[in-house]
Amino acid sequence: MISENYKMKKTLSAKTILRRKGEAAKPTRLAGIFPAASFLFLVTTSFAQTSIILQADNGKEKINKNIYGHFAEHLGHCIYGGFYVGDTSLIPNSNGVRNDIIEALKKLKIPTLRWPGGCFADTYHWKDGIGPKNKRPVIVNRWWGGVTEDNSFGTHDFLDLCEKIGAEPYLAANVGSGTVQELEDWVQYVNFDGTSPMSKLRKENGREKPWNVKMWGVGNEAWGCGGNMKPEHYADVYRQYATFMTDWTNSDHLFRVASGANVDDYHWTEVMMRDIPRNMLEGVALHHYSFVEWNNKGSATDFTEQQYFATMKTAWRMNELVTRHSTIMDRYDPEKRTALVVDEWGGWYNVEPGTNPGFLYQQNTMRDAMIAGVTLNIFNNHCDRVRAANLAQTVNVLQAVILTNKEKMILTPTYHVMEMYNVHQDATLIPLTIAGSDYILGDQKLPAISASASKDKNGAVHVSLVNIDAGKSQDVTIDIRGAKYTAISGRILASAKLQDYNSFDTPDKIKPAPFKNFKKTDSQVSVTLPPFSVVVLELK
């Protein structure tokens, strides 16, 4: 049903001025209502009301920091021309990895980094990427653009990069075209501290001590590019590979992640949980992307409000997917020993004009900030089961946090959201309930407000709020129960247009700013969120 407010706006003439008592009219472009209009209507800023109840004394679950992980695949200019420029480059680098990217990712507090794929993982043979660089074989990246690469970025380069940025590595193993022996050798190469053929080889290649990699993906998208397998077959393959992934450290067990479902393939999750013993399965993956339409993804920057709404609908669907996959997992694993690992998520659009279609290079707008804020809130609120996730991808691919152009580098709106949200890492989730208005477009609606909250080890509470509505501000009242706080501060990410982005000419067009539009009265905090904005509050 079309809202009365929408019907009213449809009847406005160009000279109409609406006012609430004591409120001045503001010029607003009604692009979502009159898509072809190039003139301004004078209307009042429209507000909607949302209430949140925060149970500040009722937190139990920890928000695992690994929810804030990232993904770096050999795809387009993510690795070569992104992270890695080579040690002869004039761009300042450390062993070939850009120093500016290292510093940016350290500030982001990336907890995990997944590599080398993605689809690339099931064609990658790790021994091609070790030893003297001038003796490594040239290979063809058959999945992404058909380009050749020289394997100059390999296991040592990646694991050393993870040490530099303070991230745990998440290695994706080749199951599709590899062997059990190949994976067993890789585990031994990176993890074994004693005398063995692979540890000897590692030392010969310049690394004395092992890296002790705990997190391993046993193949990728086995239902598709990883082998087009049926779930029953892959479950047996997984059991075989997992059996030979010895924990060489004899301390903490390896964290093995099964290739999981494509979006809503609930049968796949059912089979993984039914056919793989709990002591062999630390995580089950899930992949889901946000887009306008799968076969018509549209431009990353030139999109209508209708396309924005469609994209946010798929982003919000993550809540349904996580809930339903978790319900299946709960039946087999009520103790929640196996994690749901959403190791690919993010916005997916058409590539930028003039770029290689196989490189998946796209710009990053305020729409992507909305996707990031909503998705991370969903993960936080499901942290009892979602204990790891990886945004796709870190540099120059899909919903990247960093874009590069030769010596230039920019941070995207998505980067800024994840930096604002890193206060939730390893904090205690605070349960909350939301009752409020919807974002309505035509006869469709979505929840306008997304939120999550946590308490850190020092007792500070952080509340992350997202208003996805493209046209309305939201008055949000937060009712704090079970605790009292005397100080409040905030940061906001907002811009004039949904389509705004940071370019190499204007790299700081969108960045966090102090947020002051709140009032505290006793046990309540009142906040006004502008349209399509992200706010993080701190209460002490």
Which residue out of 73, 168, 344, 419 is catalytically annotated? 344
Measured CA to CA, the distance from residue 475 to residue 49 in angstroms comes to 5
Determine the 3-state secondary structure of 8 from DSSP: helix
Q: Which residues pair with 215 in a beta bridge?
A: 170, 255
Catalytic residue among 73, 221, 282, 419: 221
CA distance linking residue 519 with residue 511, whole number of Å: 23
Give the span between the Cα atoms of 312 and 335, in whole angstroms. 33
- Joined together, the tokens standing for residue 93 give 């680098």
Ordered DSSP codes for 210-255: -----EEEESS-TTTTTT---HHHHHHHHHHHHHT---TTSSSPPE
If phi > 0 it is left, if psi is from -120 to 50 it is alpha, else beta; for residue 407 that is: alpha
Q: Which CA distances in Å does 10 have to 43, 289, 308, 470?
A: 12, 33, 20, 16
The SS3 assignment for 161 reads helix
Question: Exposed/middle/buried for 321, CB within 10 Å: 0-12, 13-18, 19+?
Answer: buried
Phi, psi of 374 (to 5 degrees): -65, -45
Quick one: CA torsion of 145, 151, 153, 156, rounded to 10 degrees? 140
Q: Is the distance from CB of 321 to CB of 286 less than 8 angstroms? A: yes
Contact (CB, 8 A) for 405 and 97: no
Residue type present at position 198: M
Distance CA 338, CA 192 (A): 25
Tokens of 198: 């692979």
User: Are residues 512 and 412 in contact, defined by beta-carbon separation less than 8 angstroms?
Assistant: no
Distances (CA, A) of 404 to 140, 353, 409, 520: 23, 16, 4, 42
Q: Is residue 344 annotated as part of the catalytic site, yes or no?
A: yes
Report how far residue 168's alpha carbon sits from residue 66's, in angstroms, rounded to the nearest whole number.
Answer: 9
Helices 266-275 and 305-332 pack at an angle, to 10 degrees, of 20
Other beta carbons within 10 angstroms of residue 258's beta carbon come to 30
The C-alpha atoms of residue 535 and residue 514 are separated, in whole angstroms, by 9
Cβ–Cβ < 8 Å for 302, 497: no
The full DSSP string for 51-114 is EEEEETT----B--GGGGEEE--SSTTSTBTTTB--TT-SS-EETTEEHHHHHHHHHHT--EEE
Residues serving a catalytic function are: 221, 344
